[in-house]
Structures are given as C-alpha cells and as structure tokens.
Amino acid sequence: MEKKTTPPLVPELSPNAITVLERRYLKRDTEGKVLEKPVDMFRRVAQTIAAADQLFAEKADTEPLAEDFYRMMAHLEFLPNSPTLMNAGRELGQLSACFVLPVGDSMEDIFDAVKYTALIHKSGGGTGFSFSRLRPANDVVMTTTGISSGPISFMRVFDVATETIKQGGTRRGANMGILRVDHPDIMNFIMCKADHKQLNNFNISVGLTEAFMKAVEKDENYDLVNPRNGQVTGQLNARKVFNRIVTQAWENGEPGIVFLDRLNRDNPTPHVGAIESTNPCGEQPLLPYESCNLGSINLAKMVSGGQIAWDRLKEIVHLGVHFLDNVVEVNKYPLPQIAEMTLANRKIGLGVMGWADMLIRLGVAYNSDEAVELGKKVMAFINDQGHEASRALAVARGAFPNFQGSVYEKKSEAPLRNATVTTIAPTGTISIIANASSGVEPLFAVSYVRQVMDNDRLVEVHPYFEAVARQRGFYSPELMQRIAEQGSLHDLEEIPEDIRRIFVTAHDITPEVHIRMQAAFQQYTDNAVSKTVNFPKTATIQDVTRVYELAYQLDCKGVTIYRDGSRDQQVLSVGKKEEAAPGAPKDKPATKRERPKVLKGWTYQMQTGCGPLYVTVNEDNTGLFELFTTMGKAGGCAASQNEAIGRMVSLAWRSGLQARQVIKQLQGISCHSHSGFGENKILSCADAVAKAIQSHLTANGDKVQHEKRAFFKGACPDCGGIVEHEGGCVVCRICGYSECA
C-alpha cells in the first residue's frame, strides 16, 4: 500500500510580503541575485530548527517535526524573529534579534562593550545598554587625576560605531540606552536627543524606581547617587524631573520610561544578576550578555467560524515553544559570553501579532471593555500553555541550568526548560510577511495611498474591510480614496455604523485605551509588552502625564508614546488633516524650514545640450536645503525653466521631501538636444539637475545617511511610504524598512 503524501503547501503571500522577502530575507548571490523563493526559505528554516531534536535523540526522525514547523510558517500562523528567517541554515547562523551588554565604569570595559556591539550589529542583532554604572560628568578619574566626561559622551561613541557598522548590514543596528533616574547626569540624559542631531541610532529610556514614583506622588525630593562610590551627590524634586520626562516625550517621543524595580520583581534568576536594560524596543528585559529569541503567533489565523480556535491555538503555542527552544540550541552566538548566559537561562519570548485582525474577525471593537477582557483571556491561555510546553520539554531535555536558585525552584514549581516563555514584541516586518496587524497594536490605517511608479498611486485597502465592503454593497474606489485621505471611517456616514465601530484605527482610540490594552497583555506576559501609545497632534502635556501615571497604576513595565507630528521633518501621515486657518492654503506642508543667513554649498558643472549648467546644492544642519541653477548661456527659455526647477526642488527639500524622490522625478526626462555618451549622457537640463544631485549624494556619503535619519521619522527613506510608530521604532508597511534591528 502506497504511503499517502500531503500535497505541498505554498504560502499565500501578499505583494508587500513578497517585496519584503525579496529585499531583505531571501538568499542572494554575490551579485545580489535572489537565489531562493519564499517556500525555500520556510523549508530551510524549518529543517534547520527541527534538526536540533537530534541533539537530544541521535536517531530521531526530524522530518515530521520539520513538516509541522514548515506548515506553521507557510500558513502564516507563526513566524520567528527576522534573524532566524534570514540566517537559519546559512553560514552566518546568528538567529537572535537582540542582546544586552554590560557597560562597566572603566575605559577597558567601555571599549570592550563598543567592540562587542560592533560584532553583534555585524551579525544582524540589536543591543541594549544601561549606562548607569558610569560615573557622572566632571567626576574624578583617579588613575589620570582628570575628570570624567560622563555617560552621554560615551553613548556618542556607541552611536558612531553603530552608524559605521550598519552601512553594509542586512538589517540596521539599533540600540537602547537606559539611565537610572537617580544618576547625577539624569537631566542631561533626558534632554540628550532634544535637538535630533545626535544619538540617532539610540532609543533612550529613563529607568524609574518605585522610590522615585512614590516621591513623585508626594511631590518630594529624591537622592542622586554617584555609581562610582554610592555616595549621595545631591537632590532633585521628583515631580519636576517627572514633568521634564513627560514634556520631552510630548515634544518628540523620547525618552520612554521603564520601571526597573518591576523588571527585577519578575526576574526569574535574581541569584544570577540584576536586570539593568532591555532590548531596543523595550519588550525584553535581559541580564548582561543575554540574547532574546522571539517568535509570534498570528492571532488572525486563530479564528474559525466567528470563534477563537482554542485547540489550534494550543497546538501552535506548543509548536512555537518547541521551535524557539530549538533556536536557542542551534544558534551561532556572536560572543562566547552570550552563548554561556543564554544557554544557562534559555529565555524565549513567544508573542502575538494580528490582535487587531482577530478582534475584527470576531466583531469586537478594539476600544471596548470586551476587547480588553478578551486580551487577558487570550494571553492567559498562551502563557499557561507556553509554560506547560516548557515544562514538558524540561522533562525530556532537562530544566534550564540556572533553575536551581531561581524563583520557580523557591516556589517549588515544576522545572521549566526556559526561564521566560512569553514576550509581546512589535513584530515589525514579520507582520508584513504575515499580512497581519502588528503586535497588539490597533490598525494603523484602513486604507492608504501607495506610490508604486513615477506617476502611479495605488490605494491599498485592508483585506477584511474590502471584503465586508463588497459583501455589504458600499465598496467603491472613490470611497476607498476618501478613506485613504481621511485615515479614519469615523465621519463617513455612508459606511454602516457597526462597521465603523469595528474598523477603528490607532488615532480613533484614546491613549487611555492604548495603555489599558497594554496592561491587559502585560498581566499574563513573563517579560514585557512593546506598544506605542499614540496621541493626536493636539494632545497636551497633561494628556501624556495622565497616561504615564496610568501605566504606573496598571502595573505596566514601561511606556513608549508618540504624538503625531512631534518629530522633526514628519512629512507623511495618515489621518485627518488639521483645519487650516481661514484663508490659509489647505495643502500647506506640515513643516517648512526657514532659511538661515549662511549656508554651505557645492557647485557642480554639468554639460547639457544647451550649454554648461552650473548646479549649486546648499545644506543646513539638517541636510539638503536648496538648489540653484545658472546657465552658461544667459537668458532664454532654458534658463527660466532651470530657475523654476531650482525653486521647486528647494521648496521640496525645505518641506521634507527626500533627495532620491526628487532624483526619481527628474532623471530620464529627455529633450531634443542631448549631450555626452554612455554614463555621462545628459538627456536634458532636468536630467542634468538629477545627475548633479546624485553626484552630490555620492560624494557626501555621510550626508546621505544624515538625510535618511532626518526624514525617516515620517516617511520611509527607501520607498517614501508611510511609516508606523511602534514600540519605540518605525516600520514601513510597504517595503519593510525598519529603524530598529
């Protein structure tokens, strides 16, 4: 009798998912040619991770497990963090998303950490640091009889190292920098990113203590402590410091806050060490030299017949825990210290994505009490089943080596294979691959406009909304365009009320609802929950204060907020435009930099069919600012057209448009009179301007990167698309660009 075979499963991927996979995940040859298809990637990953079972049973048949892993990923029910998809079964073999490194109070320790950071970023990981051990600025340095430059100056060293290393990587390096609120340099730390000109490769968070928060409540002073000797160096008013943190976050989204005592309250291995920092997005508290190995269940796939498919969810939880424990085993760690610490605690972080999609499929509004209660129920189930799966693995493979002395052992609990099991990560690009909403965030938009060619703008519509719109008979391209422009269904009365109630977006939801949802998932998560609390541009400092206080009251472990339009150079957004003042033009740019009296510039001579064209590119401190043209032959139509091009390019740059978008519009325009041959061929004056800008960017590589950093807060630097703010990071849903590793 012939053995029955299951037909091969080919993943159903959206066009965006395929774009992201081809650009960032699939194998390539040395010339950049893609060598594998998505199905090959999932097979490669499944077989590599399943093979770890042979380490525990030499003759184990891992093919059935590899098939289970493959089908789980190909069905888009579960995906591991990006490095695992990229590197499993390949030469690099580094599968962890992020790491925490210690920064000691000596020059040797500091620069060891810089070296280790470079090695980690080279391998595709992100890093978290606490700079709280470093003595404050102007403190004594006994060995040289000099004075210390303080934590912030050394953070700049890490920032420069990251900027250098990330140039050639598959993924951007990212850092988290944390400083305790009782460090003497805390006020400078709170303000260190206020001008947007430094530490652009860092997310920063203030480490708050319970003692500090109690002092805030009582409006009392608290002590500042020199970490070098433990001596009190002064006092600050806690309420004033808290207000400064809130005000700065209101202005540009940073710093975030983490509640350090809560991280250590839930530290499963306090006998090994104290938790000082988290990964770059804040959801994974880690001991020094630990790594995070994460994966997320797509909750949108866990619905059947309008009900949660609890049996399938249980199966995926158990498979996911097995998968992630195998990742810990087969991972090629970038440092021996990291391998030792990670294998001793075997921390994993099973999380979720598609939460907003699940609610839509269940007919539950995100901003309802029912959704909050359902979030608790779903995450409690995942956490309980995840721990059960980890206990089962401990029976077969042994408990994590540091189990003895852990909080589990002291509570006489059954051994676990993993010191932690659950984490809610932002999911970033893997949610694009899964065509799911990110993490536990609400929908970013129901519909948005995507530019795919020079003059083609396509309206992208959430698939669930498009399906129900067609089914209920109110679908039309014109309506989808209006939704894309408005960003919300809130005031569109032609859409049934029950649909408007369910398809809410991030800006339809009050900040308090964001925090309550975060707290609901945090209640049943071992590690932490990465979530961004979105505020409208009109939000006040008092609004942010209330959310920070609510996060503390609801036992969250940290908060990241983003007020729409608060970052410099935000040029794209989704949602209602603010009402213009009477008589003001409605299409006025969100930001337009004013011209300083003095600018620095470069002039390029371009040979056109109309004669030599001199193109001057001027920059301010942010980046490209204006462009002037001068024709070798004065006067005439060509000169006037070139002046018009210069004015429009200048306006575009001052309003936040990227250089590459200007180049894209001008390059290739042809007139009757060409000049030059081959690569030096100039098709027109417009083409010459484009080539001059390109030459400028090529000759000023640092400025290219500076421009990217200046503009990606609102628009993707790779494709110009809309970016979402999530968990202290920004992600482009169109091409998969991510600020963070």
Amino acid at site 92 = L
Which listed residue (283, 460, 619, 626) is catalytic? Answer: 283
Cβ atoms of residues 134 and 151 within 8 Å? yes
Would you say 627 and 650 are in contact if contact means Cβ atoms under 8 Å apart? yes
Any residues with CB less than 8 A from the CB of 593 and at least 6 apart, and which? 620, 622, 625, 654
Which DSSP letter does residue 547 get? H
Give SS3 for 605.
strand
CB-CB contact of 452 with 19 (8 Å):
no
Using only C-alpha atoms, what is the Rg of the chain?
Answer: 27
- Cα–Cα distance for residue pair 336/338, rounded to 1 Å: 5
d(CA 470, CA 476): 8
Residues near 572 by beta carbon (within 8 Å), at least 6 away in sequence: 714, 715, 720, 721, 722, 723
**What 8-state DSSP symbol labels residue 614?**
E
Q: Pairing between strand 221-225 and 146-147?
A: unpaired
Contact in structure between 95 and 331 (CB atoms under 8 Å)? yes
Gap between the Cα atoms of 262 and 52, Å rounded: 34
Look up tokens 């939460």; give the residue.
355
Structure tokens at 71: 């089908």
Is cis: bond before 255, omega within 30 of 0? yes
Q: Residue 700's Cα: distance from chain center in Å? A: 27
Q: Which residues pair with 563 in a beta bridge?
A: 535
The token pair at 669 is 């325009």
Element (H, E) at 459: strand 457-461
Q: Name residue 205's beta-bridge partners.
A: 178, 256
- Torsion over CA: 537, 541, 542, 546 (sign): positive
Residue by residue, DSSP assigns 184-212 as TTHHHHHTTTTTSSS-TTEEEEEEE-HHH
**Catalytic annotation present for 740:** no
290 is catalytic: no
Which H, E and C letters describe 78-138, residue by residue?
A: EEECHHHHHHCCCCCCCCCCEEEECCCCCHHHHHHHHHHHHHHHHCCCEEEEECCCCCCCC
Q: Clarify whether 279 is annotated catalytic.
A: yes
Q: In whole angstroms, give the CA distance from residue 194 to residue 253.
A: 10
Q: Which residue has the tokens 């991030």?
A: 506
**Spatial contact of 691 and 606, defined as CB atoms under 8 Å apart:** yes
Give the other-Cβ count within 10 Å of 652's Cβ.
Answer: 20
For 644, other C-beta atoms within 10 Å of its C-beta total 11
Under 8 Å between Cβ of 618 and 600: yes
* Active-site residue identified among 279, 293, 527, 618: 279
Q: Which of 77, 200, 201, 281 is catalytic?
A: 281
Q: Please tell me whether residue 439 adopts helix, strand or coil conformation.
A: coil
Q: CA-to-CA distance for 19 and 719, rounded, in angstroms? A: 12
Pairing of the two strands 294-298 and 232-237: unpaired
Q: Which residues are catalytic?
A: 279, 281, 283
